[in-house]
Structure 1
């Protein structure tokens, strides 16, 4: 018979660590969001929901939310379409496909800061390799100030983010593809089903779990994106690429409005939680139906 006291003794270290680094910071963050703390002064005032009321009326917050939603939609859709297509291409047993799997995964293993700096140089309008390559192939009219033009800055950051994380999504899709029994495709070939019908009626329904994981990872990661944008544009030009996380950083550390910045963080938390729950319920239902 198991002893409850022994079980609690083994669980206690994990519970203490979890409480110290997760539970207590979450509770304290909610409390600080109800204050006017500037992050430096040990004395601050409890102001209730004032930060949240100001947040609702703050046009900069709505611009940052719009940018975050646009970023999340573009990354989620484009990254998953690209990753699924690449996963189907490298779903084989040859050495070339094995090499490509590793090759596509390498960017996900690199630091986002390093990637941001590298791509910032590549996007440079004067000496960047992208504009130089366009000029050398006779497409000088296509050269742009990729990060300095509001029309292109968001797309440039989105492309860089997809370049980094598409390989990770590819691995997850590949695991789903390799779990599909080959007998199903052989039976479909005998019945005369073409590639599109095989994908529609076999592949797509049976990779539903991988689809669920990738969609959730993409959405959650996109809504809290900070590092890649901070390194490449710092939210600019103007507010063209300013996400909620970038705005949070500016309010808390540039303007010493720690209480207000924490309120933005709490709002981000509930937005991500709500979207994740809705997406999970919808995608899980699709898995069951599939």
Structure 2
């Protein structure tokens, strides 16, 4: 018993930090979500589920932010997962060139989100940006767009930046998963006369699926938390076309001073993230079982 008490001392600091910085804020957000607290004065009133009802039935901006988040997430998850897996397949061998290329692709990940936002805001500039200049040099001016000013494409323009930003990070996870696959399985597939696609479908994908589960789940969470990138590039504009749940919560709390309402948004935000991640995990697990 005394030994167990001593062991508890090792986890006590981490547990204390977890309680202070995660459990307490989470419970506080849940509590304030049932109030009309303005975040400044100590006075507030309980409003029950009014904040949640208003969010779901009346708040059109919340609905738009959620729709934008889904668009952003789908674009990033699909393209980032596919690109990182393709790069990993080409760079799986530990040659000097491949190691250099992995480091090169990983480099954007170590940059701050604000730095990346400023770089790509300049690249997307419709007048003197690098992308417009490149299209002009290639006589493709017809493809030039107001990448961050057009409501129809702004969210996808930022999603493309997110893919560029984190593909190298997911690449490393896939490389680790691919290198863990026994080479004997590929030799058997080659002896059996399997094509490259058959080898990938029956050997590579089933065994790299655990890594894919991590990549997709992590990418989904990143997509819902891309506050700094979007806020630095567009602040949610134009006309809320790049507003996502994270930026909407910030605006509600720190600009409108509706902390009770923002707390309700945060609770729904956590629930939505949990549900989407769970569905993805179950779908990928079922896919692995089918193999």
Give the TM-score normalised by structure 2: 0.96
Q: Residue 51 of structure 1 corresponds to which residue in structure 2?
A: 51
- Once the two structures are superposed, the pairs formed by residues 205-224 of structure 1 within 5 Å of their partners are 205-224=206-225
- Once the two structures are superposed, the pairs formed by residues 156-167 of structure 1 within 5 Å of their partners are 156-167=157-168
Q: Deviation of residue 226 (structure 1)?
A: 0.9
- Once the two structures are superposed, the pairs formed by residues 29-68 of structure 1 within 5 Å of their partners are 29-56=29-56, 57-68=58-69
Q: Residue 122 of structure 2 corresponds to which residue in structure 1?
A: 121
Note if 1:8 corresponds to 2:5. Answer: no
Q: Residue 283 of structure 1 corresponds to which residue in structure 2?
A: 284
- Once the two structures are superposed, the pairs formed by residues 117-266 of structure 1 within 5 Å of their partners are 117-266=118-267
CA–CA distance in 1 between the matches of 2:116 and 2:91?
Answer: 24
Give the RMSD, CA atoms, in angstroms: 1.4
Give the TM-score normalised by structure 1: 0.96
Mean Cα deviation higher: 7-16 or 218-227: 7-16
CA–CA distance in 1 between the matches of 2:8 and 2:200?
Answer: 49
CA–CA distance in 2 between the matches of 1:187 and 1:3?
Answer: 51
CA–CA distance in 2 between the matches of 1:122 and 1:279?
Answer: 34
CA–CA distance in 1 between the matches of 2:284 and 2:265?
Answer: 28
SS at match of 1:207: helix
CA–CA distance in 2 between the matches of 1:97 and 1:112?
Answer: 26
Q: Deviation of residue 10 (structure 1)?
A: 2.9
Mean Cα deviation higher: 141-150 or 9-18: 9-18
CA–CA distance in 1 between the matches of 2:50 and 2:31?
Answer: 13
Mean Cα deviation higher: 64-73 or 134-143: 134-143
SS at match of 2:107: helix
SS at match of 1:186: helix
Residues 97-125 of structure 1: per-residue CA shift (max 9 Å, x gap) = 11111011111111111101110011011
Q: Deviation of residue 51 (structure 1)?
A: 0.8
CA–CA distance in 2 between the matches of 1:9 and 1:98?
Answer: 42
Mean Cα deviation higher: 226-235 or 185-194: 185-194
Mean Cα deviation higher: 124-133 or 270-279: 270-279
Give the count of matched residue pairs: 290
Q: Residue 26 of structure 2 corresponds to which residue in structure 1?
A: 26
Residues 233-278 of structure 1: per-residue CA shift (max 9 Å, x gap) = 1111111111011111111111111111111011000111112222
CA–CA distance in 1 between the matches of 2:53 and 2:208?
Answer: 43
SS at match of 2:116: helix
- 4+ aligned runs moved over 4 Å, structure 1: none
SS at match of 1:3: helix
Unmatched 5+ residue regions in structure 1?
Answer: none
CA–CA distance in 2 between the matches of 1:285 and 1:23?
Answer: 32
